[in-house]
Chains A and B, each alone.
Chain A
């Protein structure tokens, strides 16, 4: 699979409607347990952020290639793969956050969805609609719209890179 190592796209910054931080967004806020019986990824997108106040209309607004910017401990809680897959279904290209729930991070890596740890990004001037450029090999994120660069991005591990380039864990040989 031929996948780019430099990504760019429009971002969504997951904050409260008045611009405040949201940390510890758990998987029930991302993909509520009332939809857990759904196993077809094509049906999952419509429920993304269905239980996160102020973000219920996200599936209607998200576009293919968008990037999510999130706070601390994003995706804590249950192990549900759907909380990652619902974003893939919407065409989300990458998730950048200050830190992630351990299982959530694994699930994203295994699905081949780039998930990047970037301390401090939620407190930066980044706003929804800004254009971000992510360099996976050099571990940098650039906010093109505001000419800002983040260098303290946790590097992609070899396994993460291998899985991403293969497409997903199952394609890894």
Chain B
């Protein structure tokens, strides 16, 4: 067998035709282990299935799941109608449904054990490649693509080239995994790994918790990568969600002599807290360069920074003041009900409430349809999410930052380097 990168290994293990060669540039048909759809796109998936596959719309109900996270609970009649269409379809066909109370679908995939190392998982969420955090091939797709997979159980992929990225060095608190992620978004831009798979190595990666790996993997999309795979290791066993089988850590590693399109090395030892300036996740500068910029709103949450560790990091800075700056708002949305429950039990909900935050039920919160509110013309937001394209979260301007930077900034009412607060 030829030496293989991680994605080549995963594809080779899922070939419909086991004799097909798996080489970069070739298109192969791949079996899909888990097929999902969200409320965004879900109704279109249902419409395609009813139109094109009325006889047998779901190839395997045990491998198929709806997750509602985009506008949860629905705040527009369009979303409400679409969610109800999915609910009716789920009931009729015996498909599992994680309703509007459960949280972000891609995170549920990890918590509930759908996303296993080496597995293939698809959904209508463009950040489904977040599953690379556990060494799983997750892929976001459009509704036609997903309908085809629901009905057939397989789809096509072009085998991408792989770029190996080595991240070395020790992070200096309060510099965080988000700062590493933004650093890579800035350095890689949208060209260096566009259409490629990424594999992450290096001591900085090995030390990252699963939550931190989720942050890193979540922004592969903003780097233009198909997926960023982190080789699974012992770190997965500390996770509160579904258990992982340690045997899987070995099975889906790349071969030592695998072929890479490029090898890039980054040292993060002296990394500063960073922000992405409004308009592009790849327009990244040190917070210090824009310090003093007035901030009206902060958002803490999203699939990038909606885990309990993100909430605790934010709270560390919020608790240093009695409350956030007068005339400002802080919106907090945990990624999932599991995170919400952890916040409740650890007194974090109460602490957020005490400093003046709005905490909402789990979901995509400030990112997607904006059920936690959008920004108005001239409003400036600091957000822990992953996209700040013009008009995405309202007419205002959005800076992307870490939970520490967002929290420290909303306390001051302006962008601040969280290290300054600690002096």
What is A's interface to B at a CB cutoff of 8 Å? 23-24, 26, 28-29, 32-33, 36-39, 51, 72-73, 76-81, 84, 99, 101-103, 106-107, 110-111, 157-160, 168-170
Instruction: Tell me if A99 and B194 are in contact (CB < 8 A).
Output: yes
A-B contact count (CB 8 A): 104
Bound form: Cα–Cα A10–B194 in Å: 29
**Contact residues, B106-160 vs A (CB, 8 A):** 124-126, 140-145, 147-148, 156, 158
B239 on interface, CB distance cutoff 8 Å: no
Chain A residue numbers with a CB within 8 Å of B156 are 159
B141 interface neighbour in A24, A77, A79, Cβ under 8 Å: A79
Q: Does chain A have a CB within 8 A of B11?
A: no
Given A106-B145, A158-B27, check contact A79 B389 (CB 8 Å): no
Q: Does B81 belong to the interface (CB within 8 Å)? A: yes
Q: Which of A28, A107, A110 is in CB contact (< 8 Å) with B389?
A: A28
A28 to B282, CA, bound (A): 17
Contact, CB under 8 Å: B148 / A81: no
Contact A37 B82 (CB under 8 A): yes
Residue ID in chain B nearest A84 by CB atoms: B142
Given A76-B224, A99-B195: 6 more A-B contacts, CB < 8 Å: A26-B389, A28-B389, A37-B78, A79-B142, A107-B142, A169-B148
Residues of B within 8 A of A157 (CB): 27, 158
Cβ of B316 under 8 Å from chain A: no
B392 cross-chain contacts in A, Cβ below 8 A: 26, 28, 33
A168 to B148, CA, bound (A): 11
A36-B40, A159-B27, A170-B48 in contact; A103/B126 too (CB < 8 A)? yes
**Complex: how many Å from CA A102 to CA B190?**
12
* A110:B43 contact, CB within 8 angstroms: no
Which 5 A-B pairs rank lowest in CB-CB distance, beginning with the nearest? Answer: A37-B78, A81-B142, A107-B142, A79-B126, A170-B52
With A79-B124, A103-B141, A158-B27 in contact, is A51–B391 under 8 Å at CB? yes
Q: Quick one: given A28-B389, A36-B40, A170-B52, are A79 and B194 in contact (CB under 8 Å)?
A: no
- Cβ contact of A37, chosen from B81, B143, B158, cutoff 8 A: B81
- Asked if A80 contacts B142 (CB within 8 A), the reply is yes
Determine whether B44 belongs to the interface, using a CB cutoff of 8 Å to chain A: yes
A residues near B48, Cβ cutoff 8 Å: 170
Considering the chains assembled together, what is the distance between the CA atoms of A51 and B78 in angstroms?
Answer: 20
* Least CB distance, A70 to chain B, in whole angstroms: 14
Is there an interface contact between B44 and A39, defined as CB atoms closer than 8 Å? yes
Contact partner, B224, options A51, A73, A107, Cβ 8 Å: A73
- Do residues A73 and B144 form an inter-chain contact, with CB atoms below 8 A? no
User: B330 at the A/B interface (Cβ < 8 Å)?
Assistant: no
Q: Complex: how many Å from CA A5 to CA B26?
A: 21
21 contacts across the A-B interface (CB closer than 8 A): A23-B190, A26-B387, A28-B391, A36-B40, A38-B78, A73-B191, A73-B224, A76-B222, A77-B387, A79-B142, A81-B144, A84-B142, A99-B195, A102-B194, A107-B141, A110-B142, A110-B145, A169-B144, A169-B145, A170-B52, A170-B147
Asked if A81 meets B143 with Cβ closer than 8 Å, knowing A33-B368, A36-B369, A157-B27, the reply is yes
User: What CA separation (Å) do A39 and B39 show in the bound complex?
Assistant: 12
Determine whether B269 belongs to the interface, using a CB cutoff of 8 Å to chain A: no
Residues of A contacting B145 in the complex (Cβ-Cβ under 8 angstroms): 81, 106-107, 110, 169
> CB-CB < 8 A to B222: which residues of A?
76
How distant is B173 from chain A, measured CB to nearest CB, in Å? 32
Shortest CB distance A11–B (Å)? 23
Chain A residues within 8 Å of B126, by CB: 77-79, 103
> A24 contacts which chain B residues (CB < 8 A)?
190, 280, 282
Q: How far is the CA of A123 from the CA of B49 in the complex (A)?
A: 42
Cα-based distance from A26 to B282 in the complex (angstroms):
13
Chain A residues lying within 8 Å of B147, measured Cβ to Cβ, are 170
Separation in Å of the B136 CB from the closest CB of chain A? 17
Contact mask for chain B residues 23-50; partner A; CB cutoff 8 A; 1 contact, 0 none: 0000100000000000011011001100
Tell me whether A37 and B224 are in contact (CB under 8 A).
Answer: no
B79 within 8 A of A: yes
